[in-house]
Amino acid sequence: MFNIFKKKSPQFFTEKQQEEIVAAIQQAETSTSGEIRIYVESRCSYVDAIDRAQELFVKLKMFETQQRNAVLLYLAMEDKQLAIFADSGIFQKTGKEYWNNQVKTMIAGFNQNDYVNSIVRVILEIGQTLSAAFPYDAATDRNELPDEIVYGK
């Protein structure tokens, strides 16, 4: 089987930065059944990054979480585009404005070349939101999606 999401050497983050981002995902997910993933690529092949994020959300099968509470942070580094795509379960509880504000937070940090801290800050904020809407249940919760960063082209 051909894997279109093959791992390759990261070109956007150092190993330490990758570890920080993954640790933030893991920390954010400790108090929620929600799932957070990050997809990073050079260029966005779509006019609107949210359309690309939605496509990747489906390809990564993120809609298969039991409570439909997965969130994808999408970054096209060279094109300077980003989007956050939230599944229906969490989107219904937060609304569009919440996600727009998270994107604005990332953009503000990115404009100051503070990429990793901006990503970590947003991940932790989303984790708190997921925790309030979908609290962790030790009896039933399992990590439904991998935590590592997914790299595209």
| Structure confidence at residue 1 (pLDDT) | 39
Query: What is the predicted pLDDT for the residue at 140?
Result: 84
Classify residue 29: in a domain, yes or no: yes
| CATH code (residue 79) | 3.10.310.50
Tokens of 12: 């956007």
Residue of 30, 72, 69, 70 lying closest to 55 (CA atoms): 72
Output the tens digit of pLDDT for each of the chain's 153 residues. 344 444 444 579 999 999 999 999 999 999 999 999 999 999 998 889 999 999 999 999 999 999 999 999 999 999 999 999 999 999 999 999 999 999 999 999 999 999 999 999 999 999 999 999 999 988 888 899 999 999 997
49 CA to centre of own chain: 13
Rounded-to-10 torsion of CA 76, 77, 83, 84 = 100
Q: Is residue 31 part of a domain?
A: yes
Examine residue 2 and state whether it is found in any structural domain, yes or no: no
> Would you give the distance in Å from CA 22 to the centre of its chain?
10
Count of C-beta atoms within a 10 Å radius of residue 96 = 9
Is 41 part of a structural domain of the chain? yes
Residue 101 placed within a domain:
yes
* Predicted pLDDT of residue 153: 79
Q: How many domains does the chain have?
A: 1
Q: Is residue 3 part of a domain?
A: no
The residue segments making up the domain with residue 46 are 15-151
Rg (CA), the chain: 14
- Using an 8 Å Cβ cutoff, are 118 and 106 in contact? yes
pLDDT for 138: 83
Tell whether 65 is covered by a domain. Answer: yes
For residue 3, the model assigns a pLDDT of 45
Question: pTM of the full predicted structure?
Answer: 0.91
* Inside any domain, residue 106: yes
Q: Which amino acid is at 46?
A: Y
Q: How far is CA 118 from CA 9, 102, 137, in A?
A: 22, 10, 28
